[in-house]
Amino acid sequence: MRRTGGFVLTGLVVSLLLAAVVSHFASGAPDGLDTVTLRGCELDAAHEITGGECLARTADEHPVGGPFADYATTGIENGFLSTAVAGALGVLTVFVTGYVLFRSIRRRDTGTDR
Amino acid sequence: MDTVAMHIADGIIDGPTSAVFAAVALALLAACVVKARDDLDERLVPMAGLTAAFIFAVQMLNFAVLPGVSGHLLGGAMAAALVGPWVGALCVSTVLIVQALMFADGGITALGLSIVNMALIGALVTYGILRLLLKLLPRTRSGVTVAVFVTSVVSVVAGAAGFVLQFAIGGVADFGPGLGAIATGMLGIHLLIGVGEGVITATTVLAVATARPDLVHALRGHTLPHRPAVAGGAE
């Protein structure tokens, strides 16, 4: 069975670059769901609702918020850096969470553990 | 850029409907865990972690589909193609849970709704379509490309239809556009987003299939006339 270490490491580096650097060039326009839920409302430059009636009117404030709310890192003023840190830490968090989850699900009786 | 929340917020769909979808999501995710045990070997564990991390990253890359409207990868079809439907659904769910808890992206009570739309419809349901298309289409790189592309488009539109169904059952707002306009808007825009999803997913799956065909779950037992080292070969 061919090893996967090099492939996975390469993939992680690509993911980090996409989330931390390429994300800077992503469109800031509302996505498909937001477009539909915001239809009928007037928005300001920051996409905050200023008037009108739309589905998003009934949305609650996010109950958790979190350290990287809206893909910005709390405490970092610089917009590029703020998103870069949030994106990179998000990639690593998802990878580690997934790795631990899938490792714990995996059958152990057949394993030839390294 | 100013990526903000992309997934369903709390308060859009009412509590009882959200709870029912959360229960459905939990039950199906439990089934995924049981079935994933058969798929997960020493190689698939890091691959699954990578697939989840890659989907998280690419979800940040909103692309324009209309003036003032963007879309982004949902990832269900990609996950199913790369690591199989059961592990794939768990990958997308992992992304959605991390986004809701750390990035304020998608509500907490709304998690079940999003997991059903993007992980369960996106990866589980559409995997059947992918297998069928792989069986029907020629066993060439073009055949795989078309199969993955079409599956991706269907997965995104089906996920959007999932939201329309959820809103029809338990939408809170009794103002704004009517259900017909919501359905037309969601399905129309997501057909365009689905094309983007298809391009990204087909490109990614082909790239992995070229570098390491043994790591593409959907191509197991599907011998392509590939010559991995030759660029553009075997079309």
Per residue of chain B (235 residues), give pLDDT as tens. Answer: 455 678 999 999 999 999 999 999 999 999 999 999 999 998 999 999 999 999 999 999 999 999 999 999 999 999 999 999 999 999 999 999 999 999 999 999 999 999 999 999 999 989 999 999 999 999 899 999 999 999 999 999 999 999 999 999 999 998 878 899 999 999 999 999 999 999 999 999 999 999 999 999 999 877 666 554 444 444 3
Alpha-helical segments (H) within chain B: 15-39, 44-59, 76-83, 85-102, 111-114, 126-136, 141-170, 179-211
Which whole number is the average pLDDT over A81-110?
93
Which pLDDT belongs to residue B229?
47
Which pLDDT belongs to residue B234?
42
Which pLDDT belongs to residue B145?
97
Does A113 sit within 8 Å of B42, measured CB to CB? yes
Q: Cα separation of B159 and B114, whole Å?
A: 9
Q: How would you classify residue B97: left for phi > 0, otherwise alpha for psi between -120 and 50, otherwise beta?
A: alpha
3-state helix, strand and coil shares in percent for chain A, rounded to the nearest 5: 55, 5, 40
**Residue A1: closest C-alpha in chain B:** B43
Contacts of A97 (CB under 8 A, 6+ apart): B52, B94, B98
Contacts of B203 (CB under 8 A, 6+ apart): none
**Residue range of the domain that includes B32:** 15-219
Q: How many domains does chain B have?
A: 1
Task: Give the single-character DSSP code of A69.
Answer: G
- B94 and A CB contact within 8 Å: yes
Pair of tokens at residue A8 = 């996975």
Which pLDDT belongs to residue B225?
61
Residue A88: CB atoms within 10 A of its CB come to 19
Instruction: Report the half-sphere exposure of B119 (CA within 13 A, side-chain side).
Output: 29
> Quick one: pLDDT band at residue A92, thresholds 50, 70, 90?
very high
Task: Give the single-character DSSP code of A95.
Answer: H
Higher per-residue confidence, A19 vs B2: A19
Which whole number is the average pLDDT over A95-114?
80
Does B87 sit within 8 Å of A102, measured CB to CB? yes
Is B226 part of any domain? Answer: no
Contacts of B10 (CB under 8 A, 6+ apart): A59, A60, A62, A63, B18, B107, B108, B109, B110
Cβ-contact B180, B139 below 8 angstroms: no
Is B152 part of any domain? Answer: yes
**Residue A110: closest C-alpha in chain B:** B41
Is B180 part of any domain? Answer: yes
Is B9 part of any domain? Answer: no
> Quick one: pLDDT band at residue A46, thresholds 50, 70, 90?
confident
Residue reference for tokens 């795989």: B144
Pair of tokens at residue A5 = 């270490």
Higher per-residue confidence, A37 vs A114: A37
Distances (CA, A) of A86 to A70, B51, B170: 9, 19, 33
Task: Find residues 18-77 of chain A whose CB sits inside 8 Å of chain B.
Answer: 18-19, 22-37, 39-40, 46-47, 53-60, 62-71
On chain A, the residues whose CB falls within 8 A of the CB of B95 are 94
Is B225 part of any domain? Answer: no
Is B230 part of any domain? Answer: no
Which pLDDT belongs to residue A1?
67
- Could you report how far apart the first and last alpha carbons of chain B are, in Å? 38
Confidence check: pLDDT of A3 > 80: yes
Q: Cα separation of A97 and A102, whole Å?
A: 9
Which pLDDT belongs to residue A76?
94
Is B67 part of any domain? Answer: yes
CATH classification at residue B63: 1.10.1760.20
